[in-house]
């Protein structure tokens, strides 16, 4: 791949999908998203509730940037379609609300609570208040028919809503408008753009045959990596599976948590998830013929799902070298010179 420190065939193509997803979900040091398409869930921002690791579609569409932003969402839809076509899972952390909307499933307050505990709590409290309790609580600090978004953005839930006070008579309308905004209205144009891009690659009508959970697995694969299954299907080239350094290798992989296993998969296959259809290749383990093997890192050919493993002298050395490799050597970059 031009401009990148990579020498492989199919691996860099798979790695590109992973890198794009990582950028879509990267947060700058100042807490702002690296790219403006997806933002951390409200639960992440508030530090309350479930699914704080999830990202949601950015509800803000700047007037001066709307056309370009929607083009980006269309490109993201194409990326999803290409991932489905090529069976390359995308490491995305998107909530059930997103997948439900794609398969045209109804959404409700439970879906909102998964990502926005504070708003859901407010809606539930408003529904439970008597007129006396409502007026006592909001007479001095009234609510208005508007939603405050980031960067002082205000969205009117009705015409001139920022100037319309919520009272007990129109409370039901306010609750309905507020719920509708967070569940549908706030991301309607963005989601339509994603579907528009998706349908250039696959027939979107077929999405309706999936449940939200099934579509998520089809697009994103599974982060759960079964080491016993990898070991059972492994093939060995110029090395005996009973050799000590091979045993050290499998012991270290079994020690890894889910995050480390995903890093290993990226290092050896340029993907961090197992596709919905399962592994299409068997892990190939080869001998790395090096003098002083403890001084060398393992190397991989991601397009062949292959790892060349030095004959490490102990499990401690194996753990150290493998951890360093999967942490520091899994990216495509142009910081190295290939001879």
Burial class (CB within 10 angstroms; exposed 0-12, middle 13-18, buried 19+) of 246: buried
Domain 112-176 fold is Hect, E3 ligase catalytic domain (3.30.2160)
**142/153 Cα distance (integer angstroms):** 19
Decide if pLDDT at 333 tops 90.
no
User: Across residues 194-219, what is the average pLDDT?
Assistant: 96
Q: Hey, is 235 helix, strand or coil?
A: strand
Nearest to 138 by CA among 170, 160, 112: 170
Q: Establish whether domains 11-109+185-220 and 227-328 are of one fold.
A: no
Catalytic residues: 303
Q: For the ranges 5-14, 124-133, 155-164, 317-326, which has the lowest average pLDDT?
A: 5-14
Q: pLDDT of 285-317, one tens digit each?
A: 999 988 899 999 999 998 899 999 999 999 999
CA–CA separation, 310 vs 294, rounded Å?
7
Question: Across the strands, what pairs with 222?
Answer: 274
pTM for the whole structure:
0.84
Quickly state the pLDDT bin for 132 (edges 50, 70, 90). very high
What's the mean pLDDT when you consider all of the chain? 92
Q: What is the CATH number of domain 227-328?
A: 3.30.2410.10
Using one digit for the tens of pLDDT, what is the confidence trace for 35-53?
999 999 999 999 999 999 9
In the chain, where are the structural domains located? Answer: 11-109+185-220, 112-176, 227-328
Superfamily of domain 11-109+185-220: Hect, E3 ligase catalytic domains (3.90.1750.10)
Contact criterion met (CB below 8 Å) for 6 and 332: yes
Q: What percent of the chain stands above pLDDT 70?
A: 94
Q: Which residues pair with 237 in a beta bridge?
A: 286
pLDDT for res 223: 86
């Amino acid at each position: 791949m031009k401009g990148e420190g990579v020498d492989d065939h199919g691996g860099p193509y798979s790695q590109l999908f992973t890198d794009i997803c990582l950028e879509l979900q990267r947060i700058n040091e100042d807490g702002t998203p690296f790219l403006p398409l997806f933002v951390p869930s409200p639960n992440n921002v508030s530090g309350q509730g479930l699914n704080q690791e999830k990202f949601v579609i950015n509800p803000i569409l700047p007037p001066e940037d709307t056309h370009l932003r929607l083009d980006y969402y269309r490109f993201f839809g194409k990326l999803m379609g290409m991932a489905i076509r090529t069976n390359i899972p995308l490491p995305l952390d998107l909530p059930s609300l997103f997948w439900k909307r794609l398969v045209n499933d109804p959404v409700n307050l439970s879906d909102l609570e998964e990502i926005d505990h504070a708003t859901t709590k407010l809606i539930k409290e408003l529904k439970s208040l008597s007129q006396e309790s409502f007026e006592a609580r909001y007479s001095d600090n009234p609510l208005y028919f508007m939603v405050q978004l980031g960067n002082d953005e205000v969205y009117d839930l009705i015409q001139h809503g920022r100037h319309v006070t919520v009272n007990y008579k129109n409370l039901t309308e306010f609750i309905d408008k507020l719920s509708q905004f967070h569940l549908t209205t706030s991301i309607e144009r963005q989601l339509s753009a994603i579907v528009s891009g998706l349908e250039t690659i696959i027939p979107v009508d077929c999405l309706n045959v999936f449940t939200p959970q099934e579509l998520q697995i089809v697009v994103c694969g599974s982060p759960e990596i079964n080491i016993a299954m990898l070991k059972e299907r492994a093939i060995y080239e110029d090395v005996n599976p009973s050799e000590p350094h091979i045993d050290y290798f499998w012991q270290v992989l079994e020690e890894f948590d889910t995050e480390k296993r995903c890093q290993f998969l990226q290092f050896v296959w340029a993907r961090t998830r197992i596709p919905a259809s399962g592994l299409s290749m068997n892990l190939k383990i080869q001998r790395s013929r090096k003098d002083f093997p403890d001084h060398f890192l393992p190397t991989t050919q991601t397009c062949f799902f292959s790892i060349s493993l030095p004959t490490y002298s102990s499990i401690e050395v194996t753990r150290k070298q493998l951890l360093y490799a999967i942490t520091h050597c899994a990216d495509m970059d142009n910081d190295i010179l290939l001879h």
